[in-house]
Amino acid sequence: MAGQSVLTPQSEDFPKWYQDVVAKAEMADNGPVRGTMVIRPYGYSIWERMQSEIDTRIKRAGAQNAYFPLFIPESYLSKEAAHVEGFSPELAVVTHAGGEELAEPIVVRPTSETVIGEFMAKWIQSYRDLPLLLNQWANVVRWELRPRLFLRSSEFLWQEGHTAHADAADASAYAMKIHLEVYNDFLEKVLAVPTYLGIKPPSERFAGATNTMTCEGMMRDGKALQMATSHELGQNFARAFDIYFQNEEGQAALCFTTSWGSSTRLVGGLIMAHGDDHGLVLPPHIAPIQAVVIAVRDAEDVNAACASLIATLGRADVRSSLDRGRGSFGRRVTDWEIKGVPVRIEVGPRDLAQGLVSIVRRDTGEKLAVPLNDVDTTVVSLLETMQEEMFVGARAFRDSRTRDVTTLEEAVEAAESGFARLAWDLVGEKGEARLKTEALTVRCLQRADGSIPADEREEGLIAIIAKSY
Amino acid sequence: MAGQSVLTPQSEDFPKWYQDVVAKAEMADNGPVRGTMVIRPYGYSIWERMQSEIDTRIKRAGAQNAYFPLFIPESYLSKEAAHVEGFSPELAVVTHAGGEELAEPIVVRPTSETVIGEFMAKWIQSYRDLPLLLNQWANVVRWELRPRLFLRSSEFLWQEGHTAHADAADASAYAMKIHLEVYNDFLEKVLAVPTYLGIKPPSERFAGATNTMTCEGMMRDGKALQMATSHELGQNFARAFDIYFQNEEGQAALCFTTSWGSSTRLVGGLIMAHGDDHGLVLPPHIAPIQAVVIAVRDAEDVNAACASLIATLGRADVRSSLDRGRGSFGRRVTDWEIKGVPVRIEVGPRDLAQGLVSIVRRDTGEKLAVPLNDVDTTVVSLLETMQEEMFVGARAFRDSRTRDVTTLEEAVEAAESGFARLAWDLVGEKGEARLKTEALTVRCLQRADGSIPADEREEGLIAIIAKSY
């Protein structure tokens, strides 16, 4: 880890550090149209792993994948009043197609509650068709004036789940299930990101929702990032799109719907939750390459040992990659550090003569001399240890930067470097307005024990206050 | 297989049969905007399996996934003359976004050669960066005046590969590798669809290509469907987007590029290549559900046997589903037939008393009485047999409907019910014009031995002539 960093240090300018990492780790580039993003192969391989882990959990929760159109008639958006008001300023509109001006303008989907609502109404007949549990992986467009790669882009990739239920309790329970068993489980076990779970205050709800649950992660600069949200939509969209079912008594009844999403923004969160001045630090469960075998020099015995290690690691189901000994060793190490590969296995002629290789942890920099024969078992157990320790470390960091406060003024001060916890009773609408003047928001409301309340009217709720992305 | 079909028979009206199957098997619906498509969960689960099989082969061929923006500046399209001419009539154009009129209109990508070319130019410095092998899974938009679900939709899902090479030979060899090892291998081994491989005549090439390879499948009505295409783009896009590299001699040289794609149209091809009057017939390797265990009646012993069979099949890695004995048995059988599930395992009290179940093949209708203990081994080997036999059967069907002819007039006659093979020398531009008046096209040019020629000027080429989708 010697040598000077090629990145702006986090403490000097965190946003610049983020830009540097995204560029130098070859994660993404800006697209030619304002706010769009090119996800490069390394960035995309991380997103692919995220998709696979989230998709498995979604299917386990019983939802099925489908695909709905990119284009939505403009009139659909207007059917739910709060929804159109929330999304209108961000829409991209197609006015010409096939060489002609269109009779009705088409919007590029900013989210799909409306078009999916239309088809739910068509497909649902009776209580036997409920719950209807759908998900789609898609791109959506929300025009961004201040875009930032992964965090806020005019086009982003995501999954959006949409479900319909016979009653409010079932809808609410399912949204909670997704929030805990899909999102929070993925964030904790795969990304090693601890979050504060809670509901958004009414002012921050999704446009058209009756309740929005969130997972708020803390980034290395102490700011909050909303990692995923799950919405109870009540009967708002069911009413707008006539999503009726015949209940067991034979009467027509309105459904209750939910929606829930997570996006390529998670890649930004992963970078900022774990990265350091040397680049990305990837938790082993999400790392596309878990171990890189580096030939210190391009020599025959070294190359043979490297090839054999790659084969051994493959048999142990470790995702590994070979770095042949060409070019400066120091430069290559720096590049692998920037890419955040969890484990480096350095194979040099001197160590090799003693039957040893060096294993270096990306997170702590700790270096071990390991006999060749023990590399697979050492790496397998080290990866699990690192996964666990990265989560524990991120939680300790978060907790150390979270302060219980008793006034709005203290909250403003605490939020300079992290999160403030203040009784929701002491905030209210007036408090929210005051926080906004300091560029702060109530990230979520939770019970004193950290659990998710049913609504914002419960007594004794705590507001988590922070700067955010 | 008794009882009357709920579908229009193929022989009566093939297009209507296709519509019926797509609707009744719950594959897809028309979207609200002209030509767009809603892919329902059953249709999408087939597409997901296609994606996974194709993606594995693409990665094996060395290409990496990435993601490029949906929106392309209108000016990009114009940089390659043939390209813009080919795609202009099909473009959807965004003129307003974020509440304002845009200074430059944006097109929704119809394909991504242009924007990817721009980034190849940025990323490629020297011969060491070549070949650059990229792929993306994405949606594209080509405005359709006569849309048909899966076959021609204004928005469709696909993968598009884009590669850059140091010379023409390397580009050409890689396009061929993709065509054979990704597309044709997938079509034969997974979809059980035999194809005629060849190149398009110049009049049918991709807009901007110097050579287009195709896989042409025969549908049950004798018409051709282009299942996938691979293009050599020469230096056309490299010139338009300045994709230069420094060669080993230190000089700047233009790259050669390729592109290749396959789309949700494959789902339409799968339906039409194997379907019969009772619905879909899915080859086991692509079937989301390979075996359905049907309780003939809702009785305790039947249910227990069904549950135990599902567990047994799961252990044998057979994708299976349980149909509890509710509702009419005949109606349920009809529904599973429409969905094309390869194997039905019917569990009834009478058979069960003798320790037997009935296993029915979807493709042939053949019924076997099988002892409970042998179900897993029987099903596993039956699925492999069916996969093989479906391919052999489709090939025999295709061959029986392919006729060698010696004049254009004979070709027109032969193409009434299938494909005609005519010497390319006897066709030429004038012949192509004549064929067009009969709604026929040259689907591909191949060598007499069925292999793919390097270009249309080779001697002794055969033109495959057919009606097409």
A103 touches chain B (CB under 8 A): no
* Chain A residues with beta carbon closer than 8 angstroms to that of B114: none
Across the interface, whether the CB atoms of A99 and B122 are under 8 A apart is answered no
Residues A177 and A323 in one domain: no
User: In Å, how far is A247's CA from the nearest CA of chain B?
Assistant: 19
Longest dimension (CA), chain A: 82
Question: Which residue is closest to A115 within chain B, CA to CA?
Answer: B32
| Exposure of A252 in the CB half-sphere (CA atoms within 13 A) | 6
A91 touches chain B (CB under 8 A): yes
Q: Is the peptide bond before A131 cis (omega within 30 degrees of 0)?
A: yes
Write the pLDDT tens digit of every residue in B68-79.
999 999 999 989
B97 touches chain A (CB under 8 A): yes
pLDDT band at B4 (very low <50, low <70, confident <90, very high): low
What is the b/e burial string over A402-422, where b = at least 16 CB atoms within 10 angstroms of the residue's CB? bbebeebeebbebbeebbbbb
Residues A190 and A188: their CA atoms lie apart, in Å, by: 6
Geometric angle at alpha carbon A377, from A376 and A380, rounded to 5°: 85
* Chain B residues with beta carbon closer than 8 angstroms to that of A157: 67
Mean pLDDT of chain B: 96
The answer to the question of residue A399 being in a domain is no
Across the interface, whether the CB atoms of A69 and B31 are under 8 A apart is answered yes
pLDDT band at A208 (very low <50, low <70, confident <90, very high): very high
Check residue A288 and give its pLDDT. Answer: 98
Across A76-94, average pLDDT: 91
Mean pLDDT of chain A: 96
Choose one of B335, B367, B388: the last residue of a domain.
Answer: B388
Residue B151 contacts residue B469 (beta carbons within 8 Å): yes
Across the interface, whether the CB atoms of B71 and A41 are under 8 A apart is answered no
CATH of the domain at A236: 3.30.930.10
Question: Which residue is closest to A35 within chain B, CA to CA?
Answer: B69
Residue B469 contacts residue B225 (beta carbons within 8 Å): yes
Residues A80 and A219 in one domain: yes
Nearest to A38 among B32, B69, B144 (CB): B69
The answer to the question of residue B191 being in a domain is yes
CATH of the domain at A457: 3.30.110
Across A270-295, average pLDDT: 98
The answer to the question of residue B284 being in a domain is no
CB atoms within 10 A of CB B337: 25
The answer to the question of residue A281 being in a domain is no
The answer to the question of residue B280 being in a domain is no
User: In Å, how far is B82's CA from the nearest CA of chain A?
Assistant: 17
CATH of the domain at A321: 3.40.50.800
Across A77-99, average pLDDT: 91
pLDDT band at B97 (very low <50, low <70, confident <90, very high): very high
Across the interface, whether the CB atoms of B108 and A106 are under 8 A apart is answered no
B108 touches chain A (CB under 8 A): yes
Tell me which residues of chain A, numbers 3 to 42, contact chain B at a CB-CB cutoff of 8 Å: 29, 31-33, 36-41
Residues B297 and B244 in one domain: no
Residues A49 and A286: their CA atoms lie apart, in Å, by: 6
Asked if the model's pLDDT at residue B51 lies above 90, the reply is: yes
The answer to the question of residue B164 being in a domain is yes
Question: Which residue is closest to B142 within chain A, CA to CA?
Answer: A98
Asked if the model's pLDDT at residue A328 lies above 90, the reply is: yes
Check residue A257 and give its pLDDT. Answer: 98
Residues A250 and A113 in one domain: yes
Check residue B1 and give its pLDDT. Answer: 42
Nearest to A115 among B32, B45, B90 (CB): B32
Check residue A1 and give its pLDDT. Answer: 42
Percent of chain B with pLDDT over 70: 99
Across the interface, whether the CB atoms of B93 and A90 are under 8 A apart is answered no
ipTM of the shown complex: 0.96
Across B150-176, average pLDDT: 98
The answer to the question of residue B393 being in a domain is no
User: In Å, how far is A70's CA from the nearest CA of chain B?
Assistant: 8
Check residue A395 and give its pLDDT. Answer: 98
Residues A34 and A107 in one domain: yes
Write the pLDDT tens digit of every residue in A104-138.
999 999 999 999 999 999 999 999 999 999 999 99
Asked if the model's pLDDT at residue B3 lies above 80, the reply is: no
Asked if the model's pLDDT at residue A165 lies above 50, the reply is: yes
Write the pLDDT tens digit of every residue in A284-307.
999 999 999 999 999 999 999 999
* Chain B residues with beta carbon closer than 8 angstroms to that of A44: 64-67
Residues A340 and A455 in one domain: no
Domain range enclosing B190: 14-273
CATH of the domain at B443: 3.30.110.30
B65 touches chain A (CB under 8 A): yes
End-to-end CA separation in angstroms for chain B: 30
Check residue A2 and give its pLDDT. Answer: 44
Across the interface, whether the CB atoms of B70 and A141 are under 8 A apart is answered yes
What tokens does A57 get?
């959990």
Check residue B273 and give its pLDDT. Answer: 98
Residues B46 and B128 in one domain: yes
Check residue A6 and give its pLDDT. Answer: 86
The answer to the question of residue A70 being in a domain is yes
Choose one of B238, B273, B308: the last residue of a domain.
Answer: B273
Write the pLDDT tens digit of every residue in B326-359.
899 999 999 999 999 999 999 999 999 999 999 9
Residues B371 and B354: their CA atoms lie apart, in Å, by: 8
Nearest to A108 among B68, B94, B157 (CB): B94
Residues B298 and B368 in one domain: yes
Check residue A4 and give its pLDDT. Answer: 57
Nearest to B37 among A29, A69, A157 (CB): A69
What is the residue type of A419?
Answer: F
Check residue A84 and give its pLDDT. Answer: 86
Residues B36 and B119 in one domain: yes
Across the interface, whether the CB atoms of B108 and A98 are under 8 A apart is answered no
Choose one of A240, A274, A308: the last residue of a domain.
Answer: A274
User: In Å, how far is B376's CA from the nearest CA of chain A?
Assistant: 25
pTM of the model: 0.97
Asked if the model's pLDDT at residue B5 lies above 70, the reply is: no
Check residue A228 and give its pLDDT. Answer: 98
Residues A240 and A210 in one domain: yes
Residue A47 contacts residue A267 (beta carbons within 8 Å): yes
Asked if the model's pLDDT at residue B2 lies above 90, the reply is: no
Structural domains in chain A (count): 3
Residues A459 and A315 in one domain: no
Residue A171 contacts residue A256 (beta carbons within 8 Å): yes
Write the pLDDT tens digit of every residue in B189-215.
999 999 999 999 999 999 999 999 999
B121 touches chain A (CB under 8 A): no
Write the pLDDT tens digit of every residue in B234-261.
999 999 999 999 999 999 999 999 999 9
What is the b/e burial string over B306-333, where b = at least 16 CB atoms within 10 angstroms of the residue's CB? beebbebbeeeebbbbbbebeeeeeebb
Percent of chain B with pLDDT over 90: 95
B76 touches chain A (CB under 8 A): yes
Check residue A326 and give its pLDDT. Answer: 86
User: In Å, how far is B181's CA from the nearest CA of chain A?
Assistant: 22
* Chain B residues with beta carbon closer than 8 angstroms to that of A91: 97-99
Across the interface, whether the CB atoms of A93 and B96 are under 8 A apart is answered yes
Asked if the model's pLDDT at residue B84 lies above 90, the reply is: no
* Chain A residues with beta carbon closer than 8 angstroms to that of B31: 68-69, 71, 115
Residue B198 contacts residue B446 (beta carbons within 8 Å): yes
Strands B211-218 and B224-232: antiparallel
pLDDT band at B14 (very low <50, low <70, confident <90, very high): very high
φ, ψ for residue A92, nearest 5 deg:
-105, 135
Residue A199: its H or E element? strand A195-199
Check residue A5 and give its pLDDT. Answer: 67
Nearest to A89 among B90, B98, B145 (CB): B98
Residues B248 and B297 in one domain: no
What tokens does B77 get?
């399209």
CB atoms within 10 A of CB B158: 19
Check residue A81 and give its pLDDT. Answer: 85
A69 touches chain B (CB under 8 A): yes
Residue A261 contacts residue A158 (beta carbons within 8 Å): yes
Mutate to test the interface with A, among B27, B29, B38 (most CBs of A within 10 A): B38
Residues A257 and A274: their CA atoms lie apart, in Å, by: 35
User: What string of H, E and C letters represents the secondary structure of B7-67?
Assistant: CCCCCCCHHHHHHHHHHHCCCEEECCCCCCEEECHHHHHHHHHHHHHHHHHHHHCCCEECE
Write the pLDDT tens digit of every residue in A217-238.
999 999 999 999 999 999 999 9
B78 touches chain A (CB under 8 A): no
